[in-house]
Every structure is written in C-alpha cells, then in structure tokens.
Amino acid sequence: MILDNGQEQYEVVRDVFVGKDHVVSVCKYLQSVSVEYKVIWLVKNRELAKKIIGVFSKTVFFREKEKSIFTYQDAVCFVLPYEEERPLMNFYLATVRMGVCSGQQIWQQLLVKCMSSELPKPILYLILRQRQIKISQDGNIYFQYELDVTELNPAVTEAECTMECARIIRELMDLEHVSTQAAVLIDRKLKRKGYIEFIDLYKDIKIMIHQEAEIKKTSFREKIESRKDNIFRLLLVMGIILLVIVIVIAVLQWKFQGDSAFRIFHYSVDQIGTESLLQ
C-alpha cells in the first residue's frame, strides 16, 4: 500500500496497530536517497483527527521538516519519525550491566528528555503511559510514536506526565532491586499524587543519587579504617611475639651466664663420658 500526498509517497511496511478509528504503520519514505522509515497515524475518525490537530496546534512540533500532516482519501495522516525499536524496559538491565551507563544516568536522561520535549503534554503522556520509550546502544533515551491515540486526553497536564514518569523510574529501580530512602519517598508521593512538575521528581532523584554517593564514600572509608585496624593488630601481635622472644633469650643468658643462649648446646657436646671431643 502506498500513501501519497501528491508530493511525497510512503510505502506501508507493516501495521503496528489497527483499530476502528485509526491505523498506525511503519512506512518507507520513498523520496529519501537512503533507506528511511516513518511512523504514520492514519486517522479515519474525523473527531479524533480534530482532537489530535487541536493538541498539536498548541506547540511547534509539526513545524519541523521531518514531520507533516496530509489527507489521504477520507483519512488524515500524521507523519512522525521512526526510531530503532529497543524498548527501555527490555534493554535497561543489559545497558547497565554492560557498563554503557548507570541506572541513575538513565533515570536522569529520561527526566531531561521529558522536560526538554516539544511534544504536547497529552501526547507525551501517551508515550509514557504506553511505554514507548527506547534506549539506544550507547545509552541515549528517545521516544517512539507507535501509539494508540484513541486514549488521547487533551486535558492532560505536566502533573499526570510527571506521575507516569515516576512510575517508570520506580519500575526501573525494581528491575535493579534498588531500595533507598528516595525510592520510598517516590512511592509516598505516587500514593498521594504529590508530583506537579518534572523538576520535583528530578530533585528527588538528585537527592537519592547524592545519598548513594555518600553511602559509598562512607563504606569506602570504613573499609580503609578496617584494613588499618587489621594491619595495626598484626603489627601489635608481631611486636609482642618479638618482645617475648627477646625476654626469653635475655633470661636464658642470665641463667646460664653464657655469651649466648645457644652455648647450652655447645657445652652439652664438648665431652661425652671420659672422652673429650676437643682432643
């Protein structure tokens, strides 16, 4: 199937989502010199199309060249970037264990990505809610647009987005079995819907990272002090043993009035019976 807007053509490679009101497809952009793919929402429901256009009209998101909107037959097509499909939840542990970046760096990247995104908050919420978050092989976070947009709610604000982002970070923490005071704090705020802006969550994450760094420093100092104590004890024991040896030698010298404690053995073999060994 070819989607044609009169100037550009997109060949449907596969359908990701097929619903009554819209279809989400991965398409090959035929005007590109190199192989390039796009995600296209083909929205057949007019009310849903109006809702999506209304949400995007409040931002500059679709003013960029790589994104566009056109009509095809009785549908409205929204052209969005396509990225390599490496779901964050699937590749998180491998990324951390391979040392590409730490879990804390990934949490911070996700937050920064959300805070700097030009996406309308209702769309950003869908991305977070439907876990369309990807991670590249070098540990960078990016968003994917293979969304079920029938769940779109134009009334969604940054508060809902922040709460969903906090849930994702807690899921990532659980994958690593992270349990800290900050994690407990995030749980409490999630229960009482305590996050209003991304910066609130960012501050809590920074506190947690600082606390863990302090714990590691303290643990390192304790190990150093413990090693110092062990070395001191060893030297003390060796000193005591050496002192005992010196005292024993001194006592033997005094008792036998010899030049050395070892003269005991010398005198014992100078003569055997009536025969002298010195002749």
Q: How far apart are CA 3 and CA 9, in angstroms?
A: 6
Residue 261's pLDDT is 47
Q: How far apart are CA 111 and CA 115, in angstroms?
A: 6
Considering the chain, what percentage of its residues have pLDDT values greater than 70?
Answer: 82
Q: Is-contact 78 69, C-beta < 8 A?
A: yes
Question: Who has greater pLDDT, 30 or 262?
Answer: 30
**Alpha helices per DSSP H over 81-195:** 88-97, 103-116, 121-129, 158-176, 181-191
pLDDT band per the 50, 70, 90 thresholds, residue 93:
very high
β-bridge partners, 272? 275
6 dihedral zone (left: phi>0; alpha: psi -120 to 50; beta): left
Give 139's contacts (C-beta < 8 A, 6+ positions apart).
95, 100, 101, 105, 106, 109
**What SS3 state is found at 116?**
helix
Residue 65's pLDDT is 62
Cα 265–chain centre separation: 73
Residue 161's pLDDT is 97
Pairing of strands 22-29, 2-4: unpaired
Token reading at 112:
């920064």
Q: How far apart are CA 179 and CA 26, in angstroms?
A: 39
- Residues 175-234 pLDDT 10s: 988 776 778 888 999 999 989 999 999 988 888 777 766 665 555 455 555 666 677 778
Residue 215's pLDDT is 60
**What SS3 state is found at 244?**
helix
pLDDT band per the 50, 70, 90 thresholds, residue 263:
low
Q: Is the pLDDT of residue 22 over 90?
A: yes
Any idea what DSSP says for residue 87? B
Q: How far apart are CA 165 and CA 147, in angstroms?
A: 17
CA neighbor of 29 nearest in space, from 57, 5, 49, 56: 5
- Residues 131-187 pLDDT 10s: 999 999 999 999 999 999 999 999 999 999 999 999 999 999 999 887 767 788 889
**What SS3 state is found at 27?**
strand
β-bridge partners, 2? 11
Pairing of strands 22-29, 9-18: antiparallel
Residue 210's pLDDT is 73
pLDDT band per the 50, 70, 90 thresholds, residue 265:
very low
Kindly report the average pLDDT of the chain as a whole number.
Answer: 84
Residue 244's pLDDT is 84
pLDDT band per the 50, 70, 90 thresholds, residue 64:
low
- Low-confidence winner among 22-31, 85-94, 202-211, 264-273 (lowest mean pLDDT): 264-273
Tokens 């033997």 map to which residue?
252
